[in-house]
Structure 1
Amino acid sequence: MKQRYAVVVLFALIIASSMVSLTSYKTTENLVTEDVNQALAKALDEQQSDVISADTIQVFNSHLQIEGLRGNAVLAVDTKKGFRPRPQVSTATILSLSDQRPSMILWSMVLLWSLFCLYQHRRLSALGFYGGLALQDGRFVNAKGCEVKLTPMQLQLMEMLWQSPTHQLSKADICDALWPKKPDASETLYTLIRRLKPIIEEHSDLKIESDRGKSYGLTIR
Structure 2
Amino acid sequence: MKQQRFAVIVLFALIIASSLTSIGSYSSTCRLVNEDMDRALALALQEQQSDVISQDTIRTFNNHLQITELRGKATLAVDTCGQKFKAYAHCSEATIFSLSDQRPATILWALTGFWAMLICYRHRQSLVGEPLSVSNTNRNVFGGLTYLEDDGCFYAADGRQVQLTPMQHQLMEMFFLSPSHSLTKTEICNALWPKKPDASETLYTLIRRLKPVVEHHSDLKIESDRSKAYRLEIR
TM-score by length of 1: 0.58
Q: Distance in 1 between matches of 2:120 and 2:31?
A: 40
Indicate whether 1:107 and 2:109 are aligned.
Answer: yes
2:150 corresponds to 1:138: yes
Which aligned pairs between 1:113-152 and structure 2 lie closer than 5 A? 113-127=115-129, 138-139=150-151
Counterparts of 1:1-221 in structure 2, within 5 Å, are 2-81=3-82, 82-127=84-129, 138-139=150-151
Inter-CA distance 6–55: structure 2 relative to 1 (3 Å threshold): same
CA contact (8 A) 1:77 1:86 kept: yes
* Alignment gaps of 5+ in structure 1: 130-134, 141-162, 166-221
Q: 1:84 to 1:16 in 2, by over 3 A?
A: same
Q: Which amino acid aligns with 2:35?
A: E
Q: Percent of aligned positions with the same letter in both sequences?
A: 52
Q: How many residues align?
A: 140
Structure 2 distance, partners of 1:49, 1:84, is: 12
Q: Is the 8 A contact 1:51 1:85 kept in 2?
A: no
Whole-angstrom distance in 1 between the partners of 2:81 and 2:40: 21
- Root mean square deviation of aligned Cα: 2.5
- What amino acid does structure 1 have at the position aligned with 2:150? G
Unaligned runs of 5+ in 2: 132-146, 153-164, 168-235
Higher relative contact order (CA 8 A, sep 6+): 1
Deviations 1:20-60 (A, max 9, x none): 01111111111101100000000000111111111110000
Distance (whole Å) between structure 2 residues aligned to residue 40 and residue 17 of structure 1: 34
State the TM-score, normalizing by the size of structure 2: 0.55
User: Shift of the alpha carbon at 1:80?
Assistant: 3.1
Distance 1:57 1:21 in 2: 31
* Counterparts of 2:72 and 2:126, CA distance in 1: 55
Bigger Rg over Cα: 2
| Cα distance between partner residues in 2 of 1:106 and 1:73 | 30
Q: Could you report, residue by residue, the CA deviation over 1:173-219 in whole angstroms, capped at 9, with x for unpaired residues? A: xxxxxxxxxxxxxxxxxxxxxxxxxxxxxxxxxxxxxxxxxxxxxxx
Deviation at 1:84, TM superposition (A): 2.0
In structure 2, what is the Cα distance between the partners aligned to 1:136 and 1:10? 36
Distance in 1, Cα, partners of 2:148 & 2:96: 57
User: Measured at CA, do residues 137 and 35 of structure 1 come closer, stay the same or move farther in structure 2, by a change above 3 Å?
Assistant: farther
Query: Post-superposition shift, 1:2?
Result: 1.7
SS at match of 1:75: strand
| Equivalent position SS for 2:81 | helix
